[in-house]
Structure 1
Amino acid sequence: MMIYVFKTSVKTKKDSLRLKPLLNEALSIAKWNFDLEDCDKILRIDSPTCIIKAIVKLLNNNGFECEELKD
């Protein structure tokens, strides 16, 4: 499993709940969560497969900015 960390423009719990079914479908075998307290509104994903492009595209297509944070 790899942990991927993304900076997002998801600001509220309501936004994250709107994305929940989409993320659950796209990440059926992964664990994920938002840290909306962090200044970068972090999305962490623990996934066995590389999902970077798919997640950036999913969030962008739903009106949010998203970029992977490197180590």
Structure 2
Amino acid sequence: MEKENKILIFRTSITKRCDIKRIGKLLAEFPQIDKWNVDFEDWEKILRIECSGITALEISEVLRNNHIFASELE
């Protein structure tokens, strides 16, 4: 059975464009993540992730362990 794709949206603490590169390296380690992007122009620096088989909590913990705050928006 195929896992259902979902879209997770987070408000983040990103302040610099180099943070986006760092996030990319972290997220690349998860084959469950199909696509991701950051809206750097938005004041909340929105991180959007298309994935399956991984939770918002798992993603936010990985980011937090690397000093990036990410809070899921519903």
TM-score category by the smaller chain?
0.7 to 0.9
Partner of 1:32: 36
Q: Secondary structure at the match of 2:63?
A: helix
Partner of 2:11: 7
Higher helix content, 1 or 2: 1
- What one-letter code is carried by the residue in structure 1 that aligns with 2:60? V
Q: Within 1, Cα distance between the matches of 2:47 and 2:24?
A: 12
Identity of aligned residues (%): 38
- Aligned residue-pair number: 69
Q: Secondary structure at the match of 1:33?
A: strand
1:61: how far off?
Answer: 0.5
Larger gyration radius, structure 1 or structure 2: 2
What TM-score do the two structures reach when normalised by structure 1? 0.86
| Root-mean-square deviation (Å) | 1.2
Could you tell me which runs of 5 or more consecutive residues in structure 1 were left unpaired when the two chains were aligned.
none
Q: Within 1, Cα distance between the matches of 2:54 and 2:65?
A: 19
What TM-score do the two structures reach when normalised by structure 2? 0.83
Could you tell me which runs of 5 or more consecutive residues in structure 2 were left unpaired when the two chains were aligned.
none
